[in-house]
Structure 1
């Protein structure tokens, strides 16, 4: 899912007030504030009120995300209409304990403990760095960094580079993991705004913030995960790229220890012109995304790409890999 942290709801545009819900974490507030600031510039006559709330994922901190047994832990039924300031880097980043400053994962001593709450990251990195140990770590960015810096339990932790950058902590990134090292999570690095599906005024308002490339990449990624019935309890990973009108999607599934995996790449053309006239398909959603200023045919092609790639992996045995991973995760 896209980077969680903000959801927009309308409280009577005619009354010139818009309420914007957000998680309480510092990162969520930074992301929400950036969205609201852009909307204020576009609509100076409106009053925007930010309402902070706690989510299921925020409240349950003593259990691994993969074991809570519920999807959308930090967004809870958000169906996301994507927005930008373009997509931040979706890559994962390694943050090292101060004593390991200047090293890379490959240079850490054998049996070094790496903290991550992601089965996706652990599965891929266990295969690439079998000499390292991977252990669950929970909490927001501040909490995780404090656990890393003030204790000797972890030699390094893996976080989304986008979150570190948005917090102003880019200097803590010791190593960026390329897709060759670690494919990233669906929607990672993208910001999303949730809007009620029939709230045309608010949909029109936030549509001005859409970034076309981000929209198409995330539609493909979300369609891939939906077809696989993936989530936090199974290791599913992606990488997307849009170049010369061609959308490329790499998708993979992994066993918990990374020893068994399937990985494929497919591409499709998304080089369709945006129609200026309103039409009956204006507000069609693709895997929960409404993007009014991106060609509908391009969105449909992106969704089909994700579905077709997932179907290919399923034909090659992905269902068995994910089923075993889910069972083992539940049993742990």
Structure 2
């Protein structure tokens, strides 16, 4: 297969500018970052992608739209990128609106993009991993400080502005990895958890991954839920105005919403959440496995609903807010407990 040239890519984008960059990349059989590379000198500038070099400078831009996605879910939040906390393996942005977990080794290719649209000039910073897949995108808004844009791009501009882009092979999602003979050890370690962050260390110690552990554990730690449970959960949480935490991410970035979900809309295979500074789009037809999970923490049991696609990739996690008032925590726990188990639904059919 002959890959399109930068000229071909620009022509395809100009021919129909409406599709999302991700969709255009899929149609052309290329990585999304290759579209940005084709726009170098045509509105795009290659920049240093490392979060330590980039994120602290974003505060000067004022309110921005933070966008993180995977194959099945996209989350957008509006706020200011302040309170950045660097780290060699994991970095954070932690404030009421923008809450990110950043994994710097996956922030490989960066671009600043300016483009004229029917709605006016749009500016964004776009970060991609080694395979050219989007990790995180930052969009300026009408109330952003546009005067801080040019100094930021100039400061982070790389000497290499060539359209050639060296990409690594895409890593497929890891399928469920479990050790049936270690089920008792899994139960013992799970019961001893004091923080949700200890769970993945437990999985690693037992040579399992998250999905494998969920498939293996069973009661009282895990219940597999019936198809449609996520949609039911979101509608009921919205009706009850419950504060929840939604984690959406990829290998390089996890973006978190904490608060009510606002309004829920159903658009074909997509379900959308919009309000309270949140815009989330979820492909319901991509959900293959859903689990209700409980893990011990210092604040009490953390109940979550977590769901995966058919490849075994985690789509999103939804938790209650343990620091919320007791009524909200109890309401969330009761909502999760009321969701039907997959086996019960199958037995009734």
Q: Answer with 1 or 2: which has the greater Rg.
A: 2
* Bin of the TM-score, shorter chain as denominator length: under 0.3
